Structure 1
């Protein structure tokens, strides 16, 4: 809709007002709309995401969760660096697996379930 309103020669402010009327609280923030308008003015009208370097969030999956669980169960003193080297996943994803998915916390260099 942002692109359509741009093609109809509306300003970013008019576009924002229309979107708020139609979608209320689900409207993208002002910055998003102004950024899209700036892109369209520069001639960038490709609406699909471009390729980005970096690890995918799909590294937090059942296979890796199970692998981390097995590593912690076999050695309660395993550290994040050891897990990272073993699985080749990012530290933030290891933290997510340990804390959010496995409910673990580190106490005195030992992984224990959170209570």
Structure 2
């Protein structure tokens, strides 16, 4: 469960006037080892006593993003789509960002990996789920009759010429 979920679970019994110890014990009974610590429960009960309404984190101040901006991300994507063999240091030099930020944008924002050229990984979660289901089906078929399965299993695309 995420932090917001825990906080929501803490807030409901707080509104029913349960003590922090009772809330924590109830969460341990329900969630087991996944329950937050008593200190966390106490901290959030204190926050709700101070009339806090939101269970989400407050925005924090910090250094603003300067390199991984939407403009730089779009610029890097355009550069890679124009030339898939472009080097990371060339991207960094042309955009004016560091090598590490350019590499971060390529690998984390676009999930692109480098072989001899940048190759986007556009496999969706549905495609991964379908592949896993098909693999499990093939495994169960093979376990039922291994010899006939291997004789019938095609390992590459077949081209039919008529």
TM-superposed CA distance for 1:17, in Å, is: 1.1
- 2:35 counterpart (17, 27, 48): 27
Shift of 1:13: 2.3
Report the structure number with the largest CA radius of gyration.
2
Deviation at 1:76, TM superposition (A): 1.0
May I ask how many residue pairs the two structures share in their alignment? 98
Deviation at residue 22 of structure 1 after TM alignment: 0.7
Which segments of 5 or more consecutive residues in structure 2 lack a partner in the other structure?
1-8, 120-162
Deviating 4+ runs (over 4 angstroms): 48-55, 79-86
Which TM-score applies when normalising by structure 2?
0.39
Q: CA RMSD in A?
A: 4.3
**Which 5+ residue runs of structure 1 have no aligned equivalent?**
105-110
Shift of 1:16: 1.0
Distance 1:11 1:36 in 2: 12
Check whether the contact 2:10–2:44 (CA below 8 A) recurs between aligned residues: yes
Q: Normalised by the size of structure 1, how large is the TM-score?
A: 0.50
- From 7, 10, 13, the equivalent of 2:15 is 7
Structure 2 counterpart of 1:18: 26
Asked whether the 8 Å contact 1:69–1:102 carries over to 2, the reply is no
